[in-house]
Amino acid sequence: NAGVTQTPKFQVLKTGQSMTLQCAQDMNHEYMSWYRQDPGMGLRLIHYSVGAGITDQGEVPNGYNVSRSTTEDFPLRLLSAAPSQTSVYFCASSQTTTEAFFGQGTRLTVV
Answer yes or no whether residue 92 interacts with other proteins by CB under 8 A. yes
Q: Which of 83, 98, 109, 111 binds other proteins (CB under 8 A)?
A: 98
Distance CA 95, CA 20 (A): 24
Q: From the CB of residue 67, how many other CB atoms can be counted at a distance below 10 Å? A: 16
Q: Shortest approach of other proteins to residue 108 CB, angstroms?
A: 13
**Spatial contact of 46 and 58, defined as CB atoms under 8 Å apart:** yes
Interface with other proteins: number of residues (CB under 8 A): 27
The binding site for other proteins (CB under 8 A) comprises: 31, 33, 35, 40-43, 45, 48, 50, 56, 58, 88, 90, 92, 94-100, 102-105, 107
